[in-house]
Amino acid sequence: MRLLPRRSLFLRLFGGFLFVMSVVWLGVLGLDVYETQHGRRDLAQSEIQSYSQHLLAALYTVADRPDQIRTTLKRFDQKRLEVFKARDWYAPALQVQVWRNGTLLYSQGVAQPEPMPHVEPGQGRPKPMPGALAGWVQNDAETGLTVQLVQEVVGSWMFTLSSMGYYLLPLLVCIPILVIPAGFMVWSGLRPLNEVRSQIERRSAADLSPLPEARYKELKPIVAAVNQLMQRLAERLAREKEFLVDAAHELKTPLAVVQLNADALATARDPSRLDEARQGLLNGVARATHTVHQLLALERSGGDAQADALKPLDLVELVRDRLAVMAEIAHRRGIEIELHANEACVLPLHRESAASLIDNLVDNAVKYSPDGSTVVVSVVDEVTGPSITVIDQGPGIPQHLRARAFERFFRLPDQDQTGSGLGLSIAERAAARNRASIRLDDGPGGVGLQAIVQWRLLRGLGV
């Protein structure tokens, strides 16, 4: 047998917590990346657009003096750096180029000067830039000055290897702070389950009493299922104990008869006595055999209702098959069996117990009917549910004894027919296993007995 890998519910819950924490961290990281790529780039674009307009306004009075233009631009850049330093902010790198009528007048932070970009007079436009840079080109129609600014997008360093500490450090700091309490909470949450396990482990094999009711709603279904299992096991053990007691009780008499007749065969010399002992031995063996078969049928009829699921079967076809088996026994005594039934009647049935139900009812009807009589079996599908009726022409059962007739080993007083007294008990348990009930009534005209098996079905629900 292949061994299943040992799995831990604690690790499953703890791992789920770590997974959720990792997903949240990745979500925050993704939000930050999105903000860096979109929001901060738009912010940088707006900043350099405003800065370019301020530069052109400052250069308006010195547009025809290149030396003054360079001095003014250097002073602007120095003031910009002082502002960032005073607020302890990171100062992003900035490239500045100024043209007048196509002539480059000023270049700062640019390794290779560029030709003047095209822009409509008095207008401005973004300059497409690769990577983490934002660019803007602005023109002043009155002075003929064109300014191009290229600035670093603040936050682009977050996509470099050097920025890993920025992201990982909070996570590494939070792990011990969150993991230890989380582990304790998971362990504490699983304690009630461990208590239930301990309660089961402390029990002896004979203790099938219910477990105490769980205090937590998540455990109540588990405890209820365990208690139901224990109840079914207790019922099964009780049935097996009853079976052993019944077998010992019922086999005691036929085995005693077998013993006596076996002794007679061994010691008798008279031929008539030998024949009598031989016949008694055969009768004793036959009675013991019949009792064993009935006891086994009784045990099977009351088996675990959940062991074998009910399956859709044609009740009429099943009755017809069982009557074909019983016909030979009835024919020996000249008894005719009539079947009145529709073409089909499909029900959810357990085939073995349903067959035992039919066999015992028909066997009882044939056994107690007089020779040459008729046994009528009817299968009717009514609005209230299908039913089987078995009618014989025997002596019947007095009304005050009909309830006791379903008890194990009960036999009517002054009963001449041989039997174990288990037939109706088997039939009742088999009917219950197939979700049906059985009752006894007088036969037509008060003659004989009719046994009625009734199914109660909700129409429209199907099988």
DSSP 185-209: HHHHHHHHHHHHHHHHHTS-TT--P
Q: Identify which of 214, 239, 215, 244 has the alpha carbon closest to the alpha carbon of residue 227.
A: 214
209/298 Cα distance (integer angstroms): 26
R_g (Cα) of the chain, nearest Å: 49
Q: Are strands 311-314 and 145-152 parallel, antiparallel or unpaired?
A: unpaired
Furthest-apart CA atoms within the chain: distance in Å = 158
Enter the CATH code of domain 311-455.
Answer: 3.30.565.10
145/101 Cα distance (integer angstroms): 7
For residue 219, the SS3 value is coil
Q: Identify which of 302, 271, 388, 275 has the alpha carbon closest to the alpha carbon of residue 340.
A: 388
User: What pLDDT was estimated at residue 125?
Assistant: 92
Neighbours of 175 (CB within 10 A): 13
Residue 380, token pair as written in the block: 């009717």
Q: How far is CA 379 from CA 223, 316, 437, in A?
A: 43, 7, 15
Instruction: Answer for the pair 398, 270: CB distance below 8 angstroms, yes or no.
Output: no
Instruction: Answer for the pair 29, 167: CB distance below 8 angstroms, yes or no.
Output: yes
255/54 Cα distance (integer angstroms): 121
Put the strands of the sheet holding 124-127 in their side by side order: 103-108, 94-100, 145-152, 133-139, 124-127
293/356 Cα distance (integer angstroms): 11
User: What pLDDT was estimated at residue 409?
Assistant: 67
435/454 Cα distance (integer angstroms): 9
Distance of CA 53 to the CA centre of its chain: 68
463 residues of the chain, pLDDT tens digit each: 455 566 777 777 778 877 887 888 788 777 777 776 667 778 888 888 998 999 889 888 888 888 898 888 888 888 888 888 888 877 888 899 999 888 898 998 887 888 888 999 889 999 988 777 889 999 998 888 999 999 888 765 555 555 566 667 777 777 777 777 877 887 787 788 888 888 888 888 778 888 888 888 878 888 888 888 888 888 778 767 766 666 665 566 567 667 777 777 777 777 777 777 777 777 667 766 766 666 666 566 555 544 467 889 999 999 998 888 788 878 888 999 999 988 888 889 888 888 888 888 888 888 888 888 999 999 998 888 899 999 998 888 888 888 888 777 667 766 666 656 677 877 888 888 888 999 999 888 888 899 999 998 644 444 4
Return the sign of the alpha-carbon dihedral for residues 359, 361, 362, 363.
positive
- The secondary element (H helix, E strand) that includes residue 284 is helix 271-301
69/52 Cα distance (integer angstroms): 14
Query: Environment class of residue 419 by beta-carbon count within 10 Å: exposed (0-12), middle (13-18) or buried (19+)?
Result: middle
- The secondary element (H helix, E strand) that includes residue 338 is strand 336-341
Residue 252, token pair as written in the block: 């005691």
Question: What's 222-301's CATH class?
Answer: mainly alpha
Note if the pTM is more than 0.85: no
DSSP single-letter state for residue 125? E
Instruction: Answer for the pair 369, 337: CB distance below 8 angstroms, yes or no.
Output: no
20/40 Cα distance (integer angstroms): 28
User: What pLDDT was estimated at residue 158?
Assistant: 56
User: What pLDDT was estimated at residue 97?
Assistant: 92
Residue 298, token pair as written in the block: 């009784």
Q: What are the residue boundaries of the structural domains of the chain, listed by start?
A: 9-162, 222-301, 311-455
For residue 152, the SS3 value is strand
337/331 Cα distance (integer angstroms): 9
Instruction: Answer for the pair 116, 99: CB distance below 8 angstroms, yes or no.
Output: yes
